[in-house]
Amino acid sequence: MKHLISTEQFTNTGQLEQIFKLTDHYQKIGVSETLKNKIIACIFYEPSTRTRLSFETAALRLGAQVISTENAAQFSSAAKGETLEDTIKVISSYADAIVLRHFEKGASKRASLVSSVPIINAGDGAGEHPTQALLDIYTILKELGRLNDLKIALVGDLLNGRTIHSLINLLSLYDSNTLYLISPRELRLSDIYLKYLKSKKIKFIETADLSSALQHIDVLYMTRVQKERIESIKEYEKVKNAYSLNNQDVKKMKQGSIIMHPLPRVNEISPDIDNDKRATYFRQAKNGLYVRMAILDLFLNKEKYDH
């Protein structure tokens, strides 16, 4: 594959194992000259901390150079009315790969149709966030030792949460998993993903009750309510505090379970939980650096890995 747009591009676990193996390699060695003399463009039309900085750090650790803008909607020619397509055509003549975050669902796909270099989707509106999902399942594997026969609770804004959408696709490649889809009615997973789960014969349970699921699950994946994707403040205020994990909740969970969050968190997880051994979210974020090193290597050195 030339571009990384959606986790639907991964059709078998062998493709993921290649990424995991390379991620393990970069965790061990830390730095490399694999991408020496390459230039990575990080073009972000939406705010980002972990994704942008981890991609830039990953590029630098691989010996590449970075050109970037952290607010392309205002500080690029987009502010003058330039189309995304024109922007990408130009930038792809400057760089060897483009890491793109955009506020519109489907923007990375549009970019890939005109780009002469790999496009890596770093989040496109309420669409997908494939590299986050890759680091998520890598984290689950590293923490629990398997990616099948798991009970996984996906909690919060399932309607707008692009990390959820990408993660569902990858989890569908593994056997015997059960998903607890926990959200307010207004933020339930869209029908297109529910139909997808049914088509893959993945067992799932929809509920608004987090408390009753806690004792059963192996993975608790919390997400924030996506304020920027909700049409009115009134609607946001109605759902923003739907779930807030505290120490009393965590006491109901199995000792061998893990608590994840793609971050940033607002009030979904109390800071009091941070020192609990099951709190995985900061280790999860750190894993993202090495997963993104692996992804940049794979997509910029295709000839080395395509065999």
Give the catalytic positions in this structure: 50-51, 80, 101, 129
Place of tokens 């009753």: 212
For 97, the enclosing helix (H) or strand (E) is strand 97-102
Q: Give the whole-angstrom CA distance, residue 129 versus residue 125.
A: 9
DSSP 280: -
For 69, the 3-state DSSP assignment is: strand
The residues that bridge with 180 in the sheet, in sequence order, are 153, 205
The amino acid occupying position 275 is N
Closest CA to 43 of 2, 1, 93, 84: 84
Tokens of 233: 């403040």
Contact between 192 and 166 (Cβ < 8 Å) = no
